[in-house]
């Protein structure tokens, strides 16, 4: 059994290599932080070779969670070899990690990935010379085109099976090397010869954690300390800086010797970036792109397909077929009703939006894989930073556009605890794919398909995140310095068909699976509670259990304009899964029955809403507490019940207040209606503005759990 660890900088293509070599389909994301946990798989066709995809890191100093995961794995699990995936188009930056990896004493094979980009630019890399400088095997490959991967895997297997005795690379100045030599001799009893170099360097850098682990005698510690102090005094710098500086010096020498840059002028990628990440144009372009995406999905291509699915498939084809089938079998009336009015109506209403979802997923996958979305984190960082927020928070938010659960999990990469909490709280404001049917339903059935409703939902999400960020950051629970945000921007490339299709397919599959499980059960429950009264007799909808629950809670929502019991229970059923909002409407407005006559199915729904109340309903559902799965993710990531409650309360109160303000101020603007509520809404607005513009709190609370 041979274990090969894949390591490299974020976005260097590790997961792409992993997927190609193991034949699996892990999520490939064009931004850092996508692989937070290590994944293991076997080399295709060879069950004796296992590959481990580690999180991307820039160095082995344990400052961030990814670094800790990767470093602990390498030092404690002792893989047989490291396959270091290097972004060859960014060699200088990537080699820093490579030098550290070589120091671990584990055999390293360097895979120069993205060689297609290097070749396109016309640069040349002398692989042999590079190999000599690094004392390791170097191979060229382009993972995205499956080029050179087999030789990379072979070289790693070779390195892992025939281990040569470890010879450290002498990369530091004579003086530092001499000091490392002496430290090594003091460590001889404590560590194995392979790891001697690693520990010597770490101790020279005064890594307290490593020092603590070794249990050295006080005398040895003193000797080591004097050694380091001596070097520091002569170099007039601290030891950690000395090491970093000398590594970069060594890298410069490598680059000068083995890389020939052809490039004159700017690459195409740089030219695109000049415009796309431009200080003034970046944001408007992003707004335009996302508007187009949601417009395409919700108001054009998606809608045409959805109309067919709703009117024909779930209108004329499936319900009559099932009805005939059930009648032929002679099933009881109640069972027919459960299947037709409950399950087909509820699940069908949700599945009707599958085409729109497909278009949205496809667009997002293309934007992401081409490298555009990574730029957005960059553009947003500039804006976020002005308000004391970090662009790093934007990555979980982008991921959350698919589903909040992985988005919330991605917040792990944020080191600063306060920023991480804030990101967890705000991530679910993004319209995740489960909210898409709600948006699409309201846009098409209640607003007649106007172009702006879909995109506006996306921007409401972003606005809620930015404004919440500003408000929360000013409170002492969240105040503090902004975390730094470093990110390699990968060169643009044509999206790979495989990545795009795999990602879209995975998401669609998850959606259909959910419709066949959670939504199906929820539909049965909604059907039951809407068909029976409290004495468990079949009754009219208006006397049903559900109606009485809805009517009981209705007063809470009357101030938001949609105090209709059906809307109230729909919103509440969304806690189980957001798709249920649409499913519940489907059942309560007799989706199956109406559809049978081929009538426009959502007409009845339209009668219970006005433009204002429909949008207020949308706002509330976009911003309020997410589904239970996402609340569960919040609970896990916060690791604290109090913070979870805070998050859910914050989201729900914000949703309530925003819908309230929208409805009452909107009513004033449209109908010139001024009531006490309008006054209250105006007062809320003032408080809101105050919270945004006030001075940040000077006091800094240690927001413990």
Residues within the interface to Mg ion (CB under 5 A): 15, 34-35
Q: 142 phi and psi, to 5 degrees?
A: -130, 95
Question: Which one of the spans 111-119, 130-138, 408-416, 505-513 is the region binding ligand GDP (CB under 6 A)?
Answer: 111-119
Whose Cβ is closer to Mg ion: residue 35's or residue 141's? 35
Residue 427's binding partner out of Mg ion, ligand GDP, none, with CB under 5 to 8 Å set by partner kind: none
d(CA 397, CA 401): 7
Nearest approach in angstroms of CB 34 to ligand GDP is 6
Question: Residue 55 gets which letter from DSSP?
Answer: P
Structure tokens at 386: 């002005």
35 vs 411, beta carbon nearer Mg ion: 35
The first and second tokens of residue 160, run together, are: 């892992």
CA quadruple 449, 567, 407, 143: dihedral sign:
negative
Supply the minimum distance, in Å, between the C-beta of residue 402 and Mg ion: 16
Among 114, 231, 434, 587, binds ligand GDP (CB under 6 A): 114
Contact (Cβ atoms closer than 8 angstroms) between residue 593 and residue 646: no
Q: Is 499 in the site for ligand GDP (CB under 6 A)?
A: yes
Between 35 and 306, whose beta carbon lies closer to Mg ion? Answer: 35
CB of 142 to ligand GDP, least distance (A): 4
Where does residue 120 rank: exposed (0-12), middle (13-18), buried (19+ CB within 10 A)?
middle
Residue 503 interacts with which of Mg ion, ligand GDP, none, CB < 5 to 8 Å by class: none
Please name the residues in contact with 127: beta carbons below 8 A apart, sequence gap of 6 or more.
Answer: 112, 138, 139, 140, 258
| Cβ distance to Mg ion smaller for residue 101 or 254 | 101
| Residue 666 touching ligand GDP (CB under 6 A) | no
Which residue in the set 113, 416, 427, 503 belongs to the binding site for ligand GDP (CB under 6 A)? Answer: 113
Selected binder of ligand GDP within 143, 254, 403, 631 (CB under 6 A): 143
CA-based radius of gyration for the chain: 30
Helix H or strand E encompassing 692: helix 676-693
* Nearest CB to Mg ion, comparing residues 89 and 413: 413
Ordered strands of the 81-87 beta sheet: 39-43, 46-53, 2-8, 81-87, 108-113, 137-140
Q: Which residue in the set 7, 8, 239, 615 belongs to the binding site for ligand GDP (CB under 6 A)? A: 8
CB 297 within 8 A of CB 447: no
Interface with ligand GDP in residues 331-350 (CB under 6 A): none
Residue 637 interacts with ligand GDP (CB under 6 A): yes or no: no
Task: Return the residue of 28, 75, 477, 629 that touches ligand GDP, per CB under 6 A.
Answer: 28
Residue 490 interacting partner from ligand GDP, Mg ion, none (CB closer than 5 to 8 Å by kind): ligand GDP
59 and 100 Cβ atoms separated by less than 8 Å: yes
Of 116, 381, 419, 579, the residue at the interface with ligand GDP (CB under 6 A) is: 116
Classify strands 137-140 and 108-113 as parallel, antiparallel or unpaired.
Answer: parallel
Tokens matching residue 686: 């003032």
Extended strands (E) in 214-298: 259-260
- The smaller minimum CB distance to Mg ion, of residues 486 and 692, is found at 486
List, as one string, the DSSP characters of 495-532. Answer: PPHHHHHHHHHHHHHHHHHHHHTHHHHHHHHHHHHHHB
- Closer residue to ligand GDP, CB minimum distance, 373 or 569: 373
Half-sphere exposure of residue 254: CA atoms within 13 angstroms, side-chain side: 25
CA angle 105, 157, 126 (to 5 degrees): 75
11 binds ligand GDP (CB under 6 A): yes
Measured from the CB atom, the residue of 29 and 79 that comes closer to ligand GDP is: 29
Candidate segments 109-117, 357-365, 418-426, 439-447, binder of ligand GDP by CB under 6 A: 109-117
Say how far apart CA 420 and CA 404 lie, in whole Å.
15
d(CA 556, CA 573): 16
How near is the Cβ of 600 to ligand GDP at its closest, in Å? 43
Which residues, 6+ apart, have CB-to-CB distance to 181 below 8 Å? none
Q: Is the four-CA dihedral 446, 452, 455, 461 of positive or negative sign?
A: negative
Give CA–CA dist 332/684, Å, rounded: 54
- Out of Mg ion, ligand GDP, none, which partner does residue 142 contact, by CB within 5 to 8 A per kind? ligand GDP
Binder of ligand GDP out of 493, 563, 604, 688 (CB under 6 A): 493
Of 476 and 493, CB closest to Mg ion: 493
Q: Which two tokens stand for residue 564?
A: 């209709």
Those residues whose C-beta lies under 8 Å from the C-beta of residue 243, and which sit 6 or more positions away, are 172, 176, 201, 204, 205
Q: Considering only the stretches 269-277, 488-496, 594-602, 629-637, report the one whose residues sit in contact with ligand GDP under the rule CB under 6 A.
A: 488-496
Q: Are 257 and 358 in contact (CB under 8 A)?
A: no
- Name the residue nearer to ligand GDP (CB basis): 369 or 564: 369
Residue number, 141 or 299, with CB nearest to ligand GDP: 141
**Residues 194-233, mask of contacts with ligand GDP (x by CB under 6 A):** ----------------------------------------
| Alpha-carbon gap, residue 52 to 73, rounded angstroms | 10
How far, CA to CA in Å, does 182 sit from each of 197, 225, 462? 11, 12, 56
Of residues 56-95, which lie at the interface with ligand GDP (CB under 6 A)?
56
Rule CB under 6 A: choose which of 144, 251, 519, 634 binds ligand GDP: 144
Rule CB under 6 A: choose which of 346, 490, 550, 666 binds ligand GDP: 490
Residue 259's φ and ψ, nearest 5 degrees, are: -120, 130
> Which residues ranging from 349 to 408 are in contact with ligand GDP (CB under 6 A)?
369
Answer yes or no: are the C-beta atoms of 291 and 363 closer than 8 Å. Answer: no
Nearest approach, Cβ of 493 to ligand GDP (angstroms)? 4
Using the rule CB under 6 A, is 25 a contact of ligand GDP? no
By CB under 6 A, name the one of 5, 7, 15, 381 that touches ligand GDP: 15
Q: Which of Mg ion, ligand GDP, none interacts with 561 (beta carbon under 5 to 8 A by kind)?
A: none
Please name every residue paired with 81 in a beta bridge, in sequence order, or none if there are none: 4
Widest distance between CA atoms in the chain: 95
Contact region with ligand GDP (CB under 6 A), list: 28-36, 185-193, 328-336, 375-383:
28-36
* Given 75, 86, 142, 358, the residue binding ligand GDP (CB under 6 A): 142
Nearest to 196 by CA among 159, 163, 166: 166
Beta pairing partners, 110: 84, 138
Q: Cβ closer to ligand GDP: 55 or 469?
A: 55
In terms of CB distance, is 15 or 258 closer to Mg ion?
15
Is residue 14 close enough to count as binding ligand GDP by CB under 6 A? yes
Stretch that binds ligand GDP, among 27-35, 210-218, 308-316, 653-661 (CB under 6 A): 27-35
User: Whole-number minimum distance, CB 654 to ligand GDP, in Å?
Assistant: 33
How many residues lie near ligand GDP (CB under 6 A)?
26
Binding site for ligand GDP (CB under 6 A): 8, 10-16, 28-30, 34-35, 56, 113-114, 116-117, 142-144, 369, 490, 493, 496, 499
């Amino acid at each position: 059994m041979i274990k090969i660890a894949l390591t490299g900088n974020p976005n260097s293509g590790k997961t792409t290599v992993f997927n190609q070599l193991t034949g699996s389909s892990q999520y490939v994301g064009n931004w850092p932080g996508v692989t937070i946990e290590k994944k293991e798989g076997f080399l295709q066709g060879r069950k004796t070779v296992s590959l481990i995809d580690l999180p991307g890191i820039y160095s082995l100093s344990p400052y961030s969670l990814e670094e800790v995961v990767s470093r602990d794995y390498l030092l404690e699990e002792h893989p047989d070899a490291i396959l270091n995936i290097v972004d060859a188009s960014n060699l200088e930056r990537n080699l820093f990690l490579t030098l550290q990896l070589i120091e671990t004493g584990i055999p390293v094979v360097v895979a120069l990935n993205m060689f297609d980009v290097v070749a396109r630019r016309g640069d040349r890399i002398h692989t042999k010379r590079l190999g000599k400088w690094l004392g390791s095997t170097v191979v060229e490959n382009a993972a995205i085109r499956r080029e050179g991967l087999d030789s990379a895997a072979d070289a790693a297997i070779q390195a892992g099976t025939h281990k040569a005795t470890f010879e450290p690379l002498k990369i530091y100045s004579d003086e530092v090397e001499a000091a490392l030599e002496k430290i090594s001799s003091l460590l001889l009893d404590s560590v194995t010869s392979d790891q001697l170099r690693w520990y010597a360097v770490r101790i020279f850098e005064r890594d307290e954690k490593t020092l603590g682990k070794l249990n050295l005698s006080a005398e040895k510690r003193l000797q080591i300390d004097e050694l380091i102090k001596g070097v520091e005094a002569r170099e007039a710098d601290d030891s950690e800086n000395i090491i970093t500086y000398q590594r970069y010096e060594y890298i410069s020498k490598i680059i000068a010797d083995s890389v020939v840059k052809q490039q004159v002028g700017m690459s195409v990628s740089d030219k695109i970036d000049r415009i796309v990440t431009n200080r003034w144009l970046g944001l408007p372009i992003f707004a335009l792109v996302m508007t187009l995406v949601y417009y395409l999905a919700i108001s054009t291509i998606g809608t045409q397909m959805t109309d067919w699915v709703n009117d024909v498939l779930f209108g004329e084809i499936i319900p009559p077929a099932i009805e005939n089938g059930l009648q032929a079998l002679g099933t009881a009336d109640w069972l027919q009703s459960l299947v037709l009015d409950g399950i087909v109506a509820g699940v069908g209403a949700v599945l009707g939006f599958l085409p729109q979802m497909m278009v949205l997923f496809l667009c997002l996958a293309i934007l992401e894989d081409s490298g555009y979305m990574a730029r957005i984190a960059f553009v947003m960082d500039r804006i976020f930073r002005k308000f004391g927020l970090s662009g790093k928070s934007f990555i979980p938010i982008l991921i959350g556009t698919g589903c909040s659960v992985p988005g919330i999990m991605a917040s792990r990469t944020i080191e600063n605890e306060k920023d991480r909490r804030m990101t967890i709280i705000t991530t679910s404001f993004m319209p995740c794919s489960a909210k898409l049917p709600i948006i699409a339903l309201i846009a098409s059935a209640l607003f007649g398909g106007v172009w702006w409703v879909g995109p506006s939902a996306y921007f409401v999400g972003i606005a809620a995140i930015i404004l919440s960020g500003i408000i929360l950051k000013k409170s002492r629970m969240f105040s503090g310095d902004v975390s730094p945000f470093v990110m390699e921007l990968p060169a643009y490339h044509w999206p790979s068909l495989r990545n795009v299709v795999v990602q879209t397919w995975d998401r669609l599959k998850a959606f259909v699976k959910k419709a066949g499980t959670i939504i199906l059960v929820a539909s049965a429950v909604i059907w039951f509670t809407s068909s029976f009264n409290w004495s468990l007799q079949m009754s009219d909808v208006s006397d049903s259990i559900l109606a009485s629950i809805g009517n009981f809670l209705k007063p809470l929502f009357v101030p938001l304009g949609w105090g209709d019991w059906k809307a109230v229970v729909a919103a509440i059923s969304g806690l189980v899964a957001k798709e249920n909002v649409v499913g519940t409407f489907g059942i309560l407005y007799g989706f199956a029955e109406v559809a049978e006559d081929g009538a426009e199915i959502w007409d009845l729904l339209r009668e219970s809403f006005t433009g204002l109340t429909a949008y207020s309903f949308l706002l509330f559902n976009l911003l309020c507490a997410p589904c239970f799965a996402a609340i569960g993710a919040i609970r896990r990531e916060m690791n604290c019940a109090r913070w979870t409650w805070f998050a859910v309360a914050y989201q729900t109160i914000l949703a309530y207040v925003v819908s309230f303000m929208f409805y009452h101020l909107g009513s004033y603007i449209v109908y010139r209606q001024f009531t006490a509520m309008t006054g209250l809404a105006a007062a809320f607005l003032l408080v809101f503005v105050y919270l945004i513009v006030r001075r940040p709190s000077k006091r800094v609370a240690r927001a413990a759990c």
